[in-house]
Chain A
Amino acid sequence: MSILSMTKTLFKSIVHGPYTQLYPIKPRENFERTRGSIENDIEACIFCGLCVRRCPTSALKIEKAEKLWSIERMQCIQCGYCVEVCPKKCLHMRNEYTTPNTIKVKDEYVDARVSDN
């Protein structure tokens, strides 16, 4: 039974200084494995639609004719299932988050190359 048991921790804290960091001035570094956001290397994409079928939140859509791949950023849960099933490995998980927003953001990737024939 003691009334001074917290003193040791409190003195340590005073000597140590703040444990937190001044966030916007000193941004936090993400780790290599951080699941931040999904990116598509659209030039390698064959628009097979496997990612669209497997996505648990239906965040992905493709328009094969227009060579368009789109992702609803607010719907995506960064589970990485699409990255796992992608046959061309053109999808990958970036370790940075998309910027916070108050509106629903949809990112569109269009393959603008003209086919050879």
Chain B
Amino acid sequence: MGKRTVIPFGPQHPVLPEPIHLDLVLEDEKVVEAIPQIGYIHRGLEKLVEKRDFKQYTYVAERICGICSFMHGMGYCMAVEGIMEIEVPERGKFLRTIWAEVSRIHSHLLWLGLTADAFGFESLFMHSWRLREEVLDLFEQTTGGRVIFSVCDIGGVRKDIDAEMLNTMVSVLTRMEKELRDLTDVFLNDMSVKHRTVGVGVLSKEKAQETGAVGPMARASGISVDMRTLGYAAYKHLQFEPITAEAGDSYARMEVRIGEVYQAIELIRQCVELIPEGDVITKIKGNPNGEHFIRLEQPRGEVIYYVKANGTSFLDRFRVRTPTFANVPALLETLKDCDLADVPILILTIDPCISCTER
């Protein structure tokens, strides 16, 4: 046994967009153990339900995270709708699905860029983010915001998208898809990229189940788990299968996410074809009383919302279990026996969102 050394990794590190601290216990160049520490960006957003009424909190819920902001707002609204037994109009549900899927494209493109940056492929990083920019423009055109949309409301959505804009969205995404093929070809086939990802950080199916991995992390290890199959919003009307891979390494996780970008484009096409005419929001009356629990599929995986209300305009409790929080044990599992030089890549392959985790 070699001499053991402890290397602190983070909270500030070039590869980390957000602060997380890991104590890496090393034997020579191999990581033996990693001890995580969070708590650098805790904002107490769950406690804020006591100070902001349940309608105002819609805007706070969106701000839990800057990447999956739409789905945080949507999850919170769906939980409150569940308590108040509100039926969202079909068009509202379809619009929510469209925005959720566009969010998925935006999140995965961001992740692809960051990964390229982590293994030092700068031009690939720039091109991924260039394509993401077009998606952000679509968001700004339809909702008014680039990353925070303020468009989801209890009872439906606050803004409608007309038929012309829906077709523009599809044509922009179709054009983008062609350019994306060239880029994802680099991610999947380039020798230097494969050298950094294939066989790195293998998470077996059993370990993924044991550590409770969610989202692309679990799907890359061969577990077909996708909350969209529960059929919330308009997903029950759409045809899709969860994308999985068997290898469980960093390359498989990349493969799954790339597959999901194309799947999201396809789902948006299906939505635009199927979207019915009608209202987008139901008016709500009174205050919620009761409790509700809901699960959604965010770009990073399964997210859980729990809302407890007491009949006043202030909620009793709001709880979020975010996907990154669930994926941290799986990350620690993959870090065991890896090289020190692979640690940044492995931390990125769980698609860490520390703001979500700490709320």
Residue ranges of A at the interface with B (Cβ–Cβ < 8 Å) = 1-3, 5-6, 8-10, 12-13, 19, 30-35, 54, 56, 77-81, 84, 93, 95
Contact = CB atoms under 8 A, between A and B. Distances in A.
Interface residues of B, number: 31
B189 A34 contact: no
B185 A77 contact: no
A6 B186 contact: yes
B143 A33 contact: yes
B142 A81 contact: no
Contacts of A79: 59, 150
A25 B17 CA distance: 30
A115 to B, nearest CB: 33
A84 B143 CA distance: 15
Given A6-B190, A54-B55, 18 more contacts: A1-B191, A1-B194, A5-B185, A5-B186, A5-B190, A8-B182, A9-B127, A9-B183, A12-B182, A19-B130, A32-B141, A33-B141, A54-B56, A56-B57, A77-B59, A77-B148, A77-B150, A80-B150
Interface of A is mostly: loop
Contacts of B182: 8-9, 12
B127 A35 contact: no
Interface of B is mostly: helix
B140 interface: yes
Contacts of B124: 6
A93 B158 CA distance: 14
Interface in B30-87: 52, 55-57, 59-60, 63
17 contacts: A1-B189, A2-B189, A5-B186, A5-B189, A6-B190, A9-B182, A19-B130, A30-B140, A31-B141, A31-B144, A33-B144, A34-B144, A35-B145, A54-B56, A56-B56, A80-B144, A80-B150
A26 to B, nearest CB: 16
A84 to B, nearest CB: 7
Contacts of A80: 144, 150, 158
Contacts of A56: 52, 56-57, 59-60
B52 A34 contact: no
Given A6-B123, A6-B186, A9-B183, A33 B52 contact: no
A95 B145 CA distance: 10
A70 B191 CA distance: 59
A2 B190 contact: yes
A34 B158 contact: no
B159 interface: yes
Interface in B100-123: 123
A18 B140 CA distance: 22
A14 to B, nearest CB: 11
Contact of B142 (A9, A33, A78, A93): A33
B12 interface: no
A31 B123 contact: no
A83 to B, nearest CB: 10
In this complex, the member of B144, B159, B191, B194 whose beta carbon has the largest number of chain A beta carbons within 10 angstroms is: B144
A8 B179 CA distance: 11
